[in-house]
Amino acid sequence: MADDPFATLGLPARAELPDEEVRAAWKRIAAATHPDREDGGDAARYAAAAAAYDTLRTSFGRGEALADLGLAGSGTRAWTRGGRRSAPKHAHRTRAPGPGAGVPPGWRLASRVAAAAAVMVTCVLAAGWTPGSVGLLAGLLTWVGVTGRLSWTGRRRQGGRGR
């Protein structure tokens, strides 16, 4: 793909381009350069246009392309900080304690067992004891076992993985 996906599709380099305009430019170039055309098309130009469309097809992608070109700023949203791409502020993990951090481990496990029992009793009362009830019981016991393992040992999840 060329360095400038806007130029590849013949579009002005601006963030507020509507999706329909980008799609129309892509379709125009794809129809003229597709390798399956009778005249053979232009496979290299088609591939470059496909890559450019893949980049520009969303407003976020257009913002990223503008940032890569160094055009983010006046009138457009800057997607970089200090010249580097960065994740949105909400994507950064915090060290704040999660919900129920002050609850003793035994209570968390007891609440899970109570929730599983309530679900099981409700289902048996609604549908009766059927072969599906056995599967539901097995699933609930598995859920309590998997989620209660960390609560029972008193360990907390850190960094998205149980330790």
Q: Cβ neighbours of residue 22 under 8 Å, at least 6 residues apart?
A: 9, 11, 53, 56, 57, 62
3-class secondary structure, 143: helix
Mean pLDDT of successive 10-residue stretches along the chain, which has 163 residues = 80 88 93 88 90 89 86 50 47 53 70 86 85 85 77 53 46
User: Are 63 and 54 spatial neighbours (Cβ–Cβ below 8 Å)?
Assistant: no
Question: Do 14 and 56 lie in a common domain?
Answer: yes
Question: Do 80 and 109 lie in a common domain?
Answer: no
In a domain? residue 95: no
User: Are 39 and 79 spatial neighbours (Cβ–Cβ below 8 Å)?
Assistant: no
8: exposed, middle or buried (Cβ count in 10 Å: 0-12, 13-18, 19+): buried
pLDDT of 151: 59
H or E, element range at 144: helix 131-153
Question: Do 70 and 136 lie in a common domain?
Answer: no
- Alpha carbon 54 to its chain centroid, in Å, reads 17
Continuous H helices in 57-97: 59-69
Compute the distance between CA of residue 129 and CA of residue 39 in angstroms, rounded to an integer. Answer: 69
In a domain? residue 34: yes
Question: Do 83 and 148 lie in a common domain?
Answer: no
pLDDT of 23: 93
In a domain? residue 99: no
User: How many Cα atoms sit within 13 Å of 67 on the Cβ side?
Assistant: 17
Compute the distance between CA of residue 96 and CA of residue 112 in angstroms, rounded to an integer. Answer: 23
Question: Do 85 and 119 lie in a common domain?
Answer: no
Q: Which two tokens stand for residue 6?
A: 């806007």
Number of domains in the chain: 2
pLDDT of 84: 46
3-class secondary structure, 150: helix
- What are the φ/ψ torsions at residue 106 (nearest 5 degrees)? -65, -35
Question: Do 10 and 79 lie in a common domain?
Answer: yes
In a domain? residue 96: no
Compute the distance between CA of residue 147 and CA of residue 150 in angstroms, rounded to an integer. Answer: 7
Query: Of the candidates 62, 89, 116, which is a domain's last residue?
Result: 89
* CATH number reported for the structural domain that contains residue 71 in this entry: 1.10.287.110
pLDDT of 81: 45
116: exposed, middle or buried (Cβ count in 10 Å: 0-12, 13-18, 19+): buried
Question: Do 75 and 122 lie in a common domain?
Answer: no
Question: Do 119 and 79 lie in a common domain?
Answer: no
Query: Of the candidates 89, 123, 138, which is a domain's last residue?
Result: 89
Question: Do 72 and 137 lie in a common domain?
Answer: no
Range of the structural domain that residue 123 is part of:
105-153
